[in-house]
Structure 1
């Protein structure tokens, strides 16, 4: 004992210490200071712990995970917005061409130009047609003059000339008869030969024939032109009129006009080309009031009525449209019924959004589906068994107090998705409380505490 006390005295009061003795001395002083601090703070720490234990719940209850919940409400149907995709189509699109072959001498418009109805777009060379027209007009004038002559009848001078010719032929016939009688007497006396009498007899017959022809000519002039001849001449005039009308049609077809107002989408020919009948020169598109063609399921199309107004989204803008017609046939490729909507004239706020044929259009329709189920937020869903979806319903915990609940997995079937919520059906009951968020932190059978 004496040796120990001496060592302690030597350790604390010796002025010259070794390095090891110095370290030992420092540790002892630190432990002594720590003991003094603990002795001073121990009563206050004990009092604080007792107060905390009295004012807080039990340790098991403090470990319960708080969850946000909501109460299920049973529904017999739900309304869903279905978007059906279609296309903007021009009411009229035409590849314009001539109906006859010819040389293209003028193009009045170019691509992108706006045209009005009956505006001249192109012209063919018509020199040959003009020459033929003048020839037919001259022949028609000649036929008309002949017809007028027939309808007026022969002139008085012509009739008098024919009558004079009859008198002349009658006088000649009388002279020839007299000469024949003389030749007959001479033949009977044997003065002349029989041949001279035969010649006189032939002369009588010749003048008789001439008199008959002159008389018929006079009778024809006195009777006037026959009705059949006038009708034949009238038919000839009508033939010339028909040929001139056909030529006028060819001249009219030498000028290509716009059948409707619109814009020239494409130009397919140049000046100087020889184009054939039916060869496209321009593609003209009517862009004043375009249409929207949308394919709809038959049951959806049956619920629509022509004339009803709908909203159509084209690009960033929403346009008002009216159902013009619904086709009665089913498209064999898409198995849909085509609905045609006419876009209304754009307002001041919509004029900046140009509608061009070929754009994609979406028709939004509200449908009511008669199916019982529940609306759930997307955050309430979790992966279930065999790839199905599930949610956590809260049921009372038999081993805990009234505020302690237990999670129970319920499989559900998603019927419709609407932005941040889904309409489901499954093993759920109206009035049950379901976990709203934080399902990734939960498992089936876990004890939780519902937030108020």
Structure 2
């Protein structure tokens, strides 16, 4: 009886369908992707800059002396012709007075020899003096006239030096920096003030990397925004492209703002969106547009993107970034137009992961 039961159990077990193996593999990661697009013949690059007054200068005395008076400090406004600083001018006043006295003396001497020349000329006409005596008198007059000219020049130079003890504003503006204090002795041409104009417009100073400086076009119009003014935008014209690199192999570029912007001040931070001309013959083959969020920056090595292969597995592709603007990057590397890359969240997936595309096919939610 027991044997019959065992045989029945074995027969039923043989007739039952074999159980399927459990799928222990993890489901594909759901990712957002973007197509690799060809770069346009014009790309964009946003660089930081600084707003400066279009007219600015460093003001200094042309003579040495002790600072007696300073009218303004940093940020103070002034008008054209205002006295901003003054030196103790006592020594220059004395020099001027001495030069005036020397001029009077020289003119008196000239008048004396001129009278003598007139007297000798009359005597010579009457035959009562020699030709040599008359010539000596004429030479004396010429010498006296030269001394007068020298005295006049000395008096004008002394007057100019005396005038230079007062430092006047060359335009309407504000003080950007003050370099001296009352009582300080300063040398000729030592900077006292940095001044910026308040009525001559504004420039934007920025630096462009060496790999694209050759593509910045002089007189081209670019877009400028000022974050401190709620991102207010205007246009600016490229007026200067530096011929020598600064620190970091960046080249200085100056743009003149063509539009007005309420509240704009010298020293504010700006952002310049450069329109960069690229080679239209090679753009569609060598350069591509990808989302800025698709770039993965490893600790070492070049930036890269995560590309979906034919099996929807992630492959790492190194790229070189040419420019970035408006949330996109123009890159070169081993990509092809139409391929798909992970558009965002690249830090949450890994090379070799099997993925599914957001918005395509069945999706799993946990």
Range into which the TM-score falls when normalised by the shorter chain: 0.5 to 0.7
Bigger drift between 283-292 and 410-419 goes to 410-419
Q: Which has the higher strand share?
A: 2
Q: Which has the higher helix share?
A: 1
Alignment partner, residue 336 of structure 1: 250
Following superposition, the deviation at residue 122 of structure 1 comes to 1.9
Bigger drift between 407-416 and 250-259 goes to 407-416
Alignment partner, residue 284 of structure 2: 370
1:389 aligned to 306, 311, 326, which one? Answer: 306
Alignment partner, residue 47 of structure 2: 84
Alignment partner, residue 312 of structure 1: 224
Alignment partner, residue 176 of structure 2: 265
The answer to whether the Cα contact below 8 Å between 1:74 and 1:372 also exists between their aligned partners in 2 is: no
Alignment partner, residue 16 of structure 1: none
Distance 1:318 1:226, change over 3 A: same
In our comparison, the structure showing a higher alpha carbon Rg is 1
Alignment partner, residue 178 of structure 1: none
Q: Does residue 313 of structure 2 align to residue 409 of structure 1?
A: yes
Following superposition, the deviation at residue 244 of structure 1 comes to 0.8
Task: State the aligned residue count.
Answer: 305
Counterparts of 1:18-57 in structure 2, within 5 Å, are none
Alignment partner, residue 97 of structure 2: 134
Distance 1:358 1:433, change over 3 A: closer
Gaps of 5+ in 2: 1-26, 297-303
Q: Does residue 169 of structure 2 align to residue 254 of structure 1?
A: no
Following superposition, the deviation at residue 322 of structure 1 comes to 0.4
User: Structure 2 CA distance, aligned partners of 1:296 and 1:118?
Assistant: 38
User: Structure 2 CA distance, aligned partners of 1:269 and 1:435?
Assistant: 59
Following superposition, the deviation at residue 136 of structure 1 comes to 3.2
2:141 aligned to 230, 235, 244, which one? Answer: 230
Gaps of 5+ in 1: 1-64, 161-215, 394-406
Following superposition, the deviation at residue 70 of structure 1 comes to 11
The answer to whether the Cα contact below 8 Å between 2:117 and 2:138 also exists between their aligned partners in 1 is: no
Distance 1:106 1:221, change over 3 A: farther
Following superposition, the deviation at residue 379 of structure 1 comes to 10
User: Structure 1 CA distance, aligned partners of 2:74 and 2:340?
Assistant: 67
Alignment partner, residue 152 of structure 1: 115
Bigger drift between 69-78 and 123-132 goes to 69-78
Distance 1:237 1:413, change over 3 A: same
The answer to whether the Cα contact below 8 Å between 2:34 and 2:342 also exists between their aligned partners in 1 is: no
Q: Deviations over 1:119-165 (max 9, x none)?
A: 321223334433443343233223323322322336879x99xxxxx
1:356 aligned to 253, 263, 266, which one? Answer: 266
User: Structure 2 CA distance, aligned partners of 1:375 and 1:363?
Assistant: 17
Alignment partner, residue 321 of structure 1: 236
Q: Does residue 157 of structure 2 align to residue 242 of structure 1?
A: no
Q: Deviations over 1:264-302 (max 9, x none)?
A: 133444545554434443332345433223222345332
Q: Deviations over 1:51-72 (max 9, x none)?
A: xxxxxxxxxxxxxx99999999
The answer to whether the Cα contact below 8 Å between 2:207 and 2:250 also exists between their aligned partners in 1 is: yes
Bigger drift between 73-82 and 322-331 goes to 73-82
Q: Secondary structure at the match of 2:242?
A: strand
